[in-house]
Amino acid sequence: MIERRELLMAGAGLAAAGTLAAPAAAQQHRMEGMAMSMTDCIDDCVASHRMCLETAAWLTKQGGASATASLIAMLNDCAELCQATANSMLRESPLHTILCRACADACERCARECLSHVVDERMKRCSATCKDCAASCRMMADMAS
Q: Could you tell me if 139 and 101 are in contact, meaning their C-beta atoms sit under 8 angstroms apart?
A: no
pLDDT of residue 35: 52
Mean pLDDT across the stretch 117-126? 87
4-34 as b/e, with b when 16 or more CB fall inside 10 Å?
Answer: eeeeeeeeeeeeeeeeeeeeeeeeebeeeee
pLDDT of 18: 39
Q: Kindly give the pairing relationship between strand 34-37 and strand 28-31.
A: antiparallel
Share of the chain above pLDDT 90, in %: 65
Q: What pLDDT score does 10 carry?
A: 42
What kind of architecture, by CATH, is found in domain 36-141? Answer: Up-down Bundle (1.20)
Report, as an integer, the average pLDDT of 13-38.
43
For residue range 51-69, list pLDDT tens digits in order: 999 999 999 998 888 889 9
Mean pLDDT, residues 107-129 taken together: 92
pLDDT band at 5 (very low <50, low <70, confident <90, very high): very low
Residue 119 has a pLDDT of 67
Domain ranges of the chain: 36-141
